[in-house]
Amino acid sequence: MTLLSEKAAPRTYAAHARPWWQRTLMTRDTAIIALLVVVWTYASIAILNFSDPITVYFLVLDIAPILLIALPMTLIIITGEIDLSVASVVGLSSVLFGVLHREGLPMVAAMVLALLACAVAGALNGVLVTRYGLPSLAVTIGTMALFRGIAVGALGTTAITDWPDSWQDLVQARIGDSQIPLMTIPLVVLILIFAVVLHFTPFGRGIFAAGLSKDAARFSGVNVDRTKLILFTLSGLVSGLAGIYFTLRYGSARGDNATGMELQVIAAVLLGGVSIFGGRGAIPGVIAGVVLIGTIGSALRLDGLSANLIQIITGLLLIAAVIAASVLGWTGRIVGTYRRQHSSDEPSSKNSKKSE
């Protein structure tokens, strides 16, 4: 044992060629966070009323459902799949919650049942993708229409609007005298849970492995199908939670709640540096991506711009981010090739072979 380890030169990895602080700081996550800081600073200086603390209050309440759904969406996209049905699950959750409440169930019971149904809806996506090997894009386009149809069908043309004030006030409550919504606390807890699961557990490493190569992941002992099934179920559950939030915040259970939100979520996730091809991404970047899109919308609205211009600017930004990411990847590869050619005296593979 000792002999072997003495002989073995330290293994080198391309990704570990730079010192730790460079590896931590020079990432896409840092770029997007820095961008957020730049935009926020600029808006605080240049846009009247932006620096008012109430901006934070409205911003958090506005982005909360997108942020919630972005968490499981990040994990799903890292495995190389996608879930387009999330916004329809929000609608489904809202309607189920509303109907159960109208039928006289206590709030908590209505909530739990609606969440369970949404978890089942998510699991349905998962089963279709994993058991039957269908592409998630096609499956979730189908269930997107299916769940929305059920939601709109169940309530028809009506909306359920008689919600207890105490619950609505809870959703919109502030922490003490600050302008920070109480909802920030559960949000932060969920973000931490997802960050730990993705970045610090074997399950999380399995998610990355599944996205990089399904077969390699399987051979290294990752149960890819089980991982994906869990993630789709989780996506349904969290989207259901977003639906409950949405219903209480606007005091209105409607079948068409959150229509089109799936695109906002996916846009934020991609802006946050997650690769649409799977295998790459991190929670901090995604959080920054969601907050960035929300901040730009908030700043432009305060500046008096209307929704169509805000959409154009958000769209351009997304394209710019995707282009920047691929340009960075391209230059990174060139630099990597150059480095390998000029330090060929100690290639890592030869060293590792010697040690075997």
Partner 1 sequence: MTSKFRRAGSAVAIVAALGLALSACGGGSDSGSDGEGGGDTSSITFIPKNLGNPYFDASDTGGQKAAEEIGTTWKQVGPTESTPDSQVSFINTATQQRAGALVVSANDPTAIGDALEEARNAGTKVVTMDSDTEPQFRDVFVSQADAAGIAKSQVDLIAEQIGDAGEIAILSAAANATNQNEWIKLMEEELAANHPDIKLVDTVYGNDDDQTSFDKTAGLLQSHPNLKGIISPTTVGVAAAARYLSDSEYKGKVALTGLGTPNQMREYIKDGTVKSFALWDPEQLGYLSAYAADALASGDIEGKEGDTFEAGDLGEYTVGADGVIVLGEPTVFDESNIDDFDF
List of residues contacting partner 1 (CB under 8 A): 25-26, 30-31, 34-35, 37-52, 54-55, 58, 62, 156-159, 161, 168, 172, 246, 249-252, 254, 256-260, 296-309, 311, 313, 316-317, 320-321, 324, 328
Cβ distance to partner 1 smaller for residue 311 or 352:
311
Contact 295, 59 (CB under 8 A): yes
Residue 222 sits at φ, ψ, to 5 deg, of: -90, 125
Give the shortest CB-296-to-partner 1 separation in angstroms.
7
| Radius of gyration in angstroms for the set of CA atoms belonging to the chain, rounded to a whole number | 23
Give the shortest CB-129-to-partner 1 separation in angstroms.
30
Give the shortest CB-87-to-partner 1 separation in angstroms.
12
Q: Which of 37, 26, 70, 31 is nearest to 287 (CA)?
A: 70
Cβ distance to partner 1 smaller for residue 228 or 254:
254
Cβ distance to partner 1 smaller for residue 127 or 305:
305
Cβ distance to partner 1 smaller for residue 199 or 249:
249
Give the shortest CB-242-to-partner 1 separation in angstroms.
12
Query: Residue 108: is it exposed, middle or buried by C-beta count within 10 angstroms (0-12/13-18/19+)?
Result: exposed
Cβ distance to partner 1 smaller for residue 25 or 120:
25
Give the shortest CB-49-to-partner 1 separation in angstroms.
5
Give the shortest CB-141-to-partner 1 separation in angstroms.
20
Cβ distance to partner 1 smaller for residue 57 or 203:
57
Contact 230, 42 (CB under 8 A): no
Cβ distance to partner 1 smaller for residue 123 or 151:
151
Give the shortest CB-15-to-partner 1 separation in angstroms.
17
- In one-letter notation, the amino acid at residue 77 is I
